[in-house]
Amino acid sequence: MEDFYRWQRKRLDILMVGNQPEGERWNFDEENRKPPPKTGHDRWPVPRVAALDDLDTELIEEVSPFSWGTEPYGQWATTRSGALERLTFFVDNVLPGFGEHEDAMLSSNWHLAHSLLSPYLNNGLLLPGEVADAVVNAYKSGSVPLNSAEGFLRQVIGWREYIWNCYWQWMPDYAHMNVLDAQHDLPPMFTDPSATSMACMKSVITSVSERSYAHHIERLMVLGNFALIAGVNPQQLTTWMWNSFIDAAEWVMVPNVIGMSQYADGGMLATKPYASGGAYIDRMSNYCKGCKYDRKKRTGDDACPFTVLYWDFFLRHADRFVKNPRVARQVRAAQQLSDGDAVRETAVVILKKLKSGDL
């Protein structure tokens, strides 16, 4: 994707000085991966809310019997003019603080500095070009720092367009790939957050239930990560994502779930599985504080399911991933665990509880 992104920058002449990137760097990931702040969790502007109109109400009544989650309350615009207002609000009020905490997660703040524009982009109310132009103009005016402008544009002209091309290049067979042979059914917690005591999963799934939304790190490193290491069937996860998110479209969800999230394509899209244990969740969020489970433990009744299943995942798939230079070290570490057998036994117990809705 990096080569594609740089090609896009040059082709579109976005944040370029001649043939070189603005600021002499192609990306500002180091500045944009800070954990959440310890205080000031209300520092980001509250998203706009609009009153529902008659058409909104009519459609809600038609859809409600067939969907899960709470009824909409106007958190999303449903018109072109409303989407343009949200774009202006983001660029003027939110984008300046977007960059540094874009990978952070907070149980007390579902939006942070995210744009919340993906529903309008993916459903045709906004065009990627006009969004990119608005961001570039804000940067040129001096109202937005370079790390925020670059980090956001990377998602719009880079990752989003890359995923679109992957979809049209590899479909339709791509949607059915499952190289890790993940066959567990989607757990009850995915449609009933009360079915788990895991603070992170409960928080993110509750947000999906209430708003049909979770930001990209919550999707990849909480929902997707957990489904990956728990061996959830990728097609079932894709269907759930498609049914649950307001920005869902087949071309978006299939490559992101099959490739990026679940590694079900064997590495066609991503060079490694995005698997992590409780340590990552703890570093990038405040979910672990007060959770029933201990993110440092990998055995026992209070062992963190993320930590247990992380190690179990690399033990289960050691033959495949020991040859992958990006995760070979994790595989070898898993194989050298002194309590490896106990970890696998704990994983069996966790998966049984997961299936029964008692985790």
Q: How far apart are CA 196 and CA 176, in angstroms?
A: 29
With respect to CATH, is domain 176-356 assigned 1.10.579.10? yes
Q: How far apart are CA 243 and CA 241, in angstroms?
A: 5
Give the pLDDT of residue 62: 81
Residues 91-149: pLDDT tens digits?
A: 999 999 988 888 999 999 999 999 999 999 999 999 999 999 999 999 999 999 999 99
Copy the structure tokens of residue 48: 């706009």
Give the pLDDT of residue 211: 93
Copy the structure tokens of residue 71: 């009824």
Q: How far apart are CA 236 and CA 254, in angstroms?
A: 11
Give the pLDDT of residue 68: 74
Give the pLDDT of residue 160: 95
Residue pair 177/264 in contact (Cβ under 8 Å)? The answer is yes
CA distances from 326 to 137, 173, 273, 330, 331 (A): 38, 27, 9, 9, 10
What is the DSSP track for 26-94? S--TTTT-PPPPSS-TT-SPPPP-----HHHHHHHHHHGGG--SPPP-S-S--SHHHHHHHHHHIIIII
Residue 84: pLDDT band (50, 70, 90) is very high
Give the pLDDT of residue 57: 83
Residue scoring higher pLDDT (201 or 52): 201
Whether the bond between 172 and the residue before it is cis, its omega within 30 degrees of 0, is yes
Residue pair 277/306 in contact (Cβ under 8 Å)? The answer is yes
Instruction: Look at 20-24, 67-71, 238-242, 347-351 and tell me which has the smallest mean pLDDT.
Output: 67-71
What is the DSSP track for 300-356? STTB-HHHHHHHHHHHHTHHHHTT-TTTHHHHHHHHT-TTHHHHHHHHHHHHHHHHH
Mean per-residue pLDDT over the chain, rounded: 94
282 pLDDT higher than 90: yes
Residue 64: pLDDT band (50, 70, 90) is low
Give the pLDDT of residue 63: 74
Residue scoring higher pLDDT (235 or 28): 235
The torsion angles phi and psi of 117, rounded to 5 degrees, stand at: -100, -10
Nearest to 355 by CA among 189, 153, 215, 197: 189
Q: How many C-beta neighbours within 10 Å does residue 284 have? A: 21
Copy the structure tokens of residue 276: 């992590």
Q: Interhelix angle for 305-316 vs 328-335, to 10°?
A: 100
Residue pair 228/262 in contact (Cβ under 8 Å)? The answer is yes
Q: If you ran DSSP here, which 8-state letter would residue 288 be given? A: T
**Domain residue limits, the chain:** 2-170, 176-356
Task: Tell me the fold of 2-170.
Answer: 1.25.40
Nearest to 174 by CA among 86, 80, 268, 237: 268
Residues 238-275: pLDDT tens digits?
A: 999 999 999 999 999 999 999 999 999 999 999 999 99
Residues 183-195: pLDDT tens digits?
A: 999 999 999 999 9
CA distances from 231 to 42, 58, 240, 338 (A): 36, 39, 15, 24
Give the pLDDT of residue 100: 86
Residues 49-63: pLDDT tens digits?
A: 888 888 888 887 787
Residue 65: pLDDT band (50, 70, 90) is low
